[in-house]
Copies of this chain bind each other. A is one copy, B any other.
Amino acid sequence: MDKFELNILGCGSALPTSRFNPTSQVVNFREKLFLIDCGEGSQLQMRLNKLKMNRLGHIFLSHLHGDHCFGLMGFISTLGLLDRTADLVIHAHPDAERIFRPQLDYFCADLPFKVIFDNISPQKHALIYEERSLKVYSIPLKHRVPTCGYLFEEEAKERHINKEMAIFYKVPLRYFIALKEGLDFTTEDGEVIPNSRLTREPEPARKYAFCSDTAPSNSIIPIIEGVDLLYHEATFAETEVNRAKTTMHSTASQAAEIALKAQVKKLLIGHYSARYRDLSVLLNEAKAIFPNTYLSDETSTIEI
């Protein structure tokens, strides 16, 4: 199966601790890397995770709070030192360009590559990026500043040809494309061979949804429905539900309820408040509602 993996570079929240870095993730899709958010230390975390910075062409920022973007300048500056020449695209709220462009001009005037800001509207669900086998959509979230998550969606795959049957019915090679697309085949004798006898179902197209930072929001459910993996922030335990509401974050139970309603396959929680030394309280509260929940950590790689 083609590689489609998630690496968590940081799963802490605003106050960095010696245990968790601020938010940053890398999606590895067929060895092309995509960075989601870029908290302070992201470049170092990539290095520790042995991810090649130059394999990365796109950065997706969820919102412009420092714990999601203070690593950006160091990251870009280091890309310059690594003799990168390919363009780097930053998908973000238009303020990102306004804030970071003057810094780039000052600190990175001699970059050997172009930094292109793709100004997006976080409050709209839209196609943000597209390549041959992958689409990335924004997921409007509810936070104190304009914020969106991102849905990484693999292209629907082709059906697999059953070669023995294709030879048996003398399907010409030029018709294989039609077979993969699901068409039936008519033999020279006029017999219609149903596609299901000539092909097998493809692997389902995989989807990953990143949702942070956000208060629980039912309006994301149609967008993330049935995804293979949902990362949803779970900053607080249920005892801090009021604080979660004020700060427009989610509790672990609220994250689990979203996962349940959206019928996702697997839930990964993160963006832990620094107050939790023991994360099992968050995990247990989520699992009580959505059993297939996991804690994110900063060393493991998750297959999507």
Contacts and interface: CB of A to CB of B under 8 A. Distances in A.
A102 B47 CA distance: 30
A78 B41 contact: no
Contacts of A21: 44
A99 B109 CA distance: 14
A67 B71 CA distance: 12
Contacts of A73: 66, 70
B15 A78 contact: yes
A121 to B, nearest CB: 19
Nearest to A103: B99
Contacts of A74: 16, 22, 40, 66, 70
Nearest to A44: B16
Identify which of A40, A81, A106, A108 gathers the most chain B CB atoms within 10 Å of its CB.
Answer: A40
Given A99-B106, A102-B102, A44 B66 contact: no
B103 A14 contact: no
A289 interface: no
Contacts of A223: none
A64 interface: yes
Nearest to A17: B47
A39 to B, nearest CB: 8
A48 to B, nearest CB: 6
A63 to B, nearest CB: 11
Nearest to A43: B16
A78 B21 CA distance: 13
Identify which of A21, A43, A67, A78 gathers the most chain B CB atoms within 10 Å of its CB.
Answer: A78
A65 B107 contact: yes
A18 interface: yes
A292 interface: no
Given A40-B41, A41-B44, 8 more contacts: A14-B81, A15-B78, A21-B44, A40-B44, A66-B107, A67-B77, A70-B77, A99-B106
Interface of A: 14-18, 21-22, 40-41, 43-44, 47-48, 64-67, 70-71, 73-74, 77-78, 81-82, 95, 99, 102-103, 106-108
- 3 closest A-B pairs by beta carbon, nearest first, are A40-B74, A70-B74, A66-B77
